[in-house]
Amino acid sequence: MTAPLGATVTRDGVNFSVFSRKATAVEILFFDREDDAKPTDVIRIDPVTNRTYHYWHVFVPGIRAGQIYGYRFHGPFDPAAGMRFDPEKVLLDPYGRGVVVPKGYNRDAARGHGDSAATAMKSVVVDPTAYDWEGDMPLRRPSTQTIVYEMHVKGFTRNPNSGVGDKTRGTYRGLTEKIPYLQELGITAVELLPVFQFDAQDCPPGVVNYWGYQPVSFFAPHQAYSSCQDPLGPVDEFRDMVKALHRAGIEVILDVVFNHTTEGDLNGPTLCLRGVDNSAYYILEEDRSHYADYTGCGNTLNSNHPIVRRMIVDSLRYWVEVMHVDGFRFDLASILTRDSSGNMMANPPVLWDIESDPHLAGTKIIAEAWDAAGLYQVGSFVGDSWREWNGRFRDDVRSFLRGDDGYVRCFADRLLGSIEIYGHKGREAEQSINFITCHDGFTLNDLVSYNQKHNEANDDSNRDGADDNRSGNCGIEGATDDPEIEKLRNRQVKNFLTVTLMSLGLPMITMGDEVRRTQHGNNNAYCHDDESTWLDWSLLNKHSDVHRFVQLIIRRRLMRDVGPEQRRMTLAQWLDAGIKGWHGVKLNQPDWNTSSHSIALSVQVPSENLLVYFIFNAYWEPLDFEIPPLDQGGSWRRWIDTYLDSPQDIVAWETAPAVPSHTYRTGPRSVVVLWANL
């Protein structure tokens, strides 16, 4: 049968189905082990009786889950016509649910001439129903109660000081063992860097692809992240992790890469799609021997081609329905707005397919709304349900807190959900994903410790990575024992965390920022799988004050009253209900001049009978701010003052001490949050 695509397990065997328009012959190869050079059996699909339209399909009796297999596709090798069939190459099933990787896997063997069977990745037959979810379902947590923690599965527990056993360090199971840490921190969702099977060898010689943004399969969990290395181990261990996270109340969001694959440019390897139907799956240049590259990775997936659109939606459905994930962050999502010629489409079919699919309703979908070819769509990404990584929040908050001139107005707008960007859409405030750091760029510690990137270890003469970091080293480049500089850096870290977690929008923090993880100034550490990128758990003691600071802010944010009415409020409604006024050092006299480095904001929260007063002083001298008068008998209470040493920098909300004066002295480069009952 032609559908469903991939390998479908039945009681009597397995049905295989794959799409290819131009192939002249298709073979399925079965292997006993992943590193076998010869298949144990080969089935040639009959092009007359077992080809329907462009679907090649065959039922093979007696096959069971766990069977290792691959494809050979025969057809023209005619790059000028966009065809690159190579029957010497064993290919992954585009819909394969599992992948095994030989110990001698060799990316180069898939580039040139010769049989790749011994060194090729191979697919695994998976029975999606053969797992006991014990009643688990995606959590569907409201966005108003969501705090995202972006993390790397391996890097989270790979360090020997993680407290995780040797066998499970750096795996899905290792992450599962550290769930109590995530619970104590208070985050409500993990956003996992790519877990689709990727090619770790897709990198310059001498280093490794650590981040995983080089996918080779859109349905299979990355095999190397599993502590169980039998063919079905990664699938079950991933599901064990999801089930455990859900029991802890934590959602699972996947960082997905549907903009390119690891097969690269015309000199890249033939691993899957290139050898199955090159011109359908990729955007080709006018000279069809070359690949269009809007991703900076050598090729661009032809995401609005009907077959590719179906594959993307089928993949998303699979991860939601079978693997129970709660959402997706789409890497370089603006690629999905391009047609087969690379032009931007006003209403890209694939985006509406994703948004309107009833199987994905309620799933969190997040766009990185730009690409590597200059398309930037923050605030204008197509669709009604897409949230966006707000790159302008990152840049403008960095500039303001660094003390740059001309950013007070932008900073104020970012605090309030980026009204100038999103106010016209009539959407909820959580359309904006507010973040200061992510995997790509400086860690939060390095943002306040380095003026320049230091990527020499990447072996590219420090040319890679962003040059516009809007960072500041607080007086000395890199690590220092100077107590005054360390105190300022600690304060700036807390300033950034306060702004991120208290602004209107959906906040995201990055793994290790809560303990000042460092990459020693490397802002493009994609190629380092070592202690320079793994979470150093000793920092939990060294920077326990920052960890505590994050815990207490998150605890208070999750205390907010977010009943059904609040969940449905648009950004404009939130602002109308709560914002009471902007201030400078004098009440109701904000300084909007380009030379201004401070601003204050009063907010009313009627549902909690509460007033909150925020003071942001990015100036290098202390400033005395007037505090709004309260009704007789009322008093302001100090919740946060980042200028103060721990534990006075933040206190438990309910124990906040009273502020006796009508003014508040705000230290240089610090943030203050006061509250009072109405």
Q: What is the pLDDT of residues 214-271, one digit of tens each?
A: 999 999 999 999 999 899 999 999 999 999 999 999 999 999 999 999 999 999 999 9
Q: What is the pLDDT of residue 117?
A: 96
Cα distances (angstroms) measured from residue 183 to each of 63, 156, 262, 353, 652: 42, 15, 35, 35, 18
C-alpha 482/C-alpha 472 separation (Å) is: 16
- Across-strand partners of 212? none
CA–CA–CA angle 172, 445, 431 (5° rounding): 65
Strand ranges, E, within 137-259: 148-151, 189-192, 251-256
- Across-strand partners of 70? 29
Q: What is the pLDDT of residues 408-439, one digit of tens each?
A: 999 999 999 999 999 887 788 899 999 999 99
Nearest to 270 by CA among 479, 429, 475, 113: 113
Question: Mean pLDDT across the stretch 61-69?
Answer: 97
Question: Mean pLDDT across the stretch 616-643?
Answer: 94
Per-residue tokens: 445? 């510690």
C-alpha 273/C-alpha 59 separation (Å) is: 22
Catalytic positions: 331, 368
Q: What is the pLDDT of residue 634?
A: 85
Q: Which residues of 514-545 are buried (b: 16+ CB within 10 A; e: fewer)?
A: bbbbbbebbbbbbbbbeeebbbbbebbeebeb
Cα distances (angstroms) measured from residue 514 to each of 94, 155, 252, 338: 39, 15, 20, 38
**Is the separation of the CB atoms in 335 and 300 below 8 Å?**
yes
Question: Mean pLDDT across the stretch 379-403?
Answer: 96
C-alpha 281/C-alpha 291 separation (Å) is: 11
Q: What is the pLDDT of residue 196?
A: 98
Q: What is the pLDDT of residues 24-42, one digit of tens each?
A: 999 999 999 999 999 999 9
Q: What is the pLDDT of residue 567?
A: 54
C-alpha 569/C-alpha 462 separation (Å) is: 46
Sign of the Cα pseudo-torsion (194, 195, 201, 207, in order):
positive
Residue-averaged pLDDT of the chain: 95
- Across-strand partners of 171? none
Poorest-confidence range of 267-276, 296-305, 421-430, 530-539? 421-430
C-alpha 125/C-alpha 122 separation (Å) is: 10
Nearest to 672 by CA among 588, 627, 613: 613
Q: What is the pLDDT of residue 3?
A: 83
Question: Mean pLDDT across the stretch 285-302?
Answer: 97
- Burial class for 471, CB neighbours closer than 10 Å (0-12, 13-18, 19+): buried
Q: How far is Cα of residue 19 from the mean position of the Cα atoms in its chain?
A: 30
Using DSSP, state whether 278 is helix, strand or coil: helix
Q: What is the pLDDT of residue 565?
A: 47
Q: What is the pLDDT of residues 176-187, one digit of tens each?
A: 999 999 999 999
Q: Peptide bond before 647: cis, by omega within 30 degrees of 0?
A: yes
pTM: 0.97
Cα distances (angstroms) measured from residue 181 to each of 77, 153, 195, 248: 53, 14, 21, 11
Helix (H) or strand (E) holding 306: helix 306-321
How crowded is residue 203: how many other Cβ atoms within 10 Å of its Cβ?
18
C-alpha 220/C-alpha 126 separation (Å) is: 10
Residue 356 has pLDDT above 60, yes or no: yes
Q: Kindly give the interhelix angle for 306-321 and 273-281, rounded to the nearest 10 degrees.
A: 120
Strand ranges, E, within 90-238: 98-100, 122-124, 148-151, 189-192
- Burial class for 223, CB neighbours closer than 10 Å (0-12, 13-18, 19+): buried
Confidence of residue 564 (pLDDT cuts 50, 70, 90): low
Q: What is the pLDDT of residue 571?
A: 72
Q: What is the pLDDT of residue 58?
A: 98
| DSSP letter string, 558-596 | TTS---HHHHH--HHHHHHHHEEEEESSSTT----STT-
- Burial class for 486, CB neighbours closer than 10 Å (0-12, 13-18, 19+): middle
The residue with tokens 């397919």 is 353
Pairing of strands 41-45, 25-31: antiparallel
The residue with tokens 């303001």 is 400
**Is the separation of the CB atoms in 29 and 90 below 8 Å?**
yes
C-alpha 190/C-alpha 179 separation (Å) is: 10
C-alpha 213/C-alpha 152 separation (Å) is: 12
Question: Mean pLDDT across the stretch 101-112?
Answer: 94
**Is the separation of the CB atoms in 364 and 253 below 8 Å?**
yes
C-alpha 141/C-alpha 133 separation (Å) is: 19
Nearest to 121 by CA among 90, 151, 152: 90
Q: What is the pLDDT of residue 428?
A: 85
Q: Which residues of 644-662 are buried (b: 16+ CB within 10 A; e: fewer)?
A: beeeebbbebeebeebeee
Cα distances (angstroms) measured from residue 86 to each of 253, 338, 434, 449, 504: 36, 28, 46, 51, 53
Per-residue tokens: 76? 């023209």
Poorest-confidence range of 457-466, 468-477, 506-515, 523-532? 457-466
Nearest to 519 by CA among 572, 499, 510, 637: 510
Strand ranges, E, within 158-308: 189-192, 251-256
The residue with tokens 């004066």 is 661
Give the phi and the psi of residue 472 in degrees, each rounded to 5.
-155, 130
C-alpha 462/C-alpha 106 separation (Å) is: 28
Give every strand in the sheet of 13-19, ordered side by side: 6-9, 13-19, 55-61, 51-52
Using DSSP, state whether 239 is helix, strand or coil: helix
Pairing of strands 55-61, 51-52: antiparallel
Confidence of residue 569 (pLDDT cuts 50, 70, 90): low
